[in-house]
Amino acid sequence: MRYFFDSITSWAYWRYVLFSASGAQSVLSIFGAIYLLVEVLDFFNVYTRDKYGAFGFLIFLCVAAIVSISVRRPIKCIQIAFPHKDYSIEVRIGDIFETSGAIMISTNSNFEADVAGGRIATNSLQGQFTARYFTGNQNALIDEIEEQLRLVGGNKPFPMGTTIPITTHGKTFYFTAMAALNQNGNASSTLANVKDSLDGLWTHVRNAGELQELAVPLVGTGRGRLNLPRKKMIELIAESFVSASMAGKFTEKLVICIRPEDAQRFQVNLYDVKDHLKQSLVH
């Protein structure tokens, strides 16, 4: 509800709904439909333009604007379907941990997991995961991570994209290396790191995962310190997924999750995102 009110009171929302090319197109399309209806009513003498024409234009324009606004109200979820490919992409504003399928947890190439000791920030995605599923027992998580890494083989730091599954509370979480830790324990990433991490995730899920819904966060835009607009990161994730799916389907739905506070702070408009993805992905 807060996201709804924050959206309708923002200039970004109204600029998109009414004062953009797509907004004007929507209003004019509805106006045209109303005008066509009026022509039919006039033909049957239900509505006569000669009697109301002086102010009818403004009334129709206002009605068209109101209808356009109502159908383009703030939303928290959009979906892009891919005809003949049997999968879809959903972009959702909400808590990634509330999604129903498997979830990607972006991590560092050392797979450092010490939240209590301050090595991992408590408000990071990994920190939130630890607090939610391993409260007071992070050592169990660390042991599980080390066991999975032994199965992978190799030494730390691991290549970007290295992915291990952590199963708990009936859900599967894919820990994927995406960032490097510096000597001060701060994580940072690059665009190449993000692309490698996504490629590694898709490959692991295809080879070892189940064909279930897969949720990913906007990797790199937070503690990864990438200076990339949220809309561009959504596009990058979606394009990477579509490209990887050409080698074989590994999930029927990809869910790209945006934190509500990020959506508000960076004025993420899902109508704009949907239009952008349709232009870049659906051919």
The string of pLDDT tens digits covering residues 47-83 is: 666 666 667 778 888 888 888 878 777 788 999 988 7
- The pLDDT of residue 225: 67
- The pLDDT of residue 276: 86
C-alpha distance from residue 107 to each of 95, 121, 254 (Å): 18, 11, 19
| Residue 147: pLDDT over 60 | yes
Q: Name the strand (E) or helix (H) holding 253.
A: strand 253-258
- 221 and 265 Cβ atoms separated by less than 8 Å: no
Half-sphere exposure for 3 (CA within 13 Å, toward CB): 21
Q: What is the mean pLDDT of residues 221-229?
A: 76
| Residue 139: pLDDT over 80 | yes
pTM as predicted: 0.81
- The pLDDT of residue 53: 61
Greatest mean pLDDT range, 19-28, 115-124, 173-182, 272-281: 173-182
Residue ranges matching CATH 3.40.220.10 in the chain: 77-281
End-to-end CA distance of the chain: 35
Q: What is the mean pLDDT of residues 191-218?
A: 96
d(CA 267, CA 12): 7
d(CA 165, CA 11): 42
Superfamily grouping for domain 77-281: Leucine Aminopeptidase, subunit E, domain 1 (3.40.220.10)
- The pLDDT of residue 126: 95
- The pLDDT of residue 106: 95
| CA of residue 118 relative to chain centroid, distance | 28
pLDDT bracket for residue 153 (50, 70, 90): very high
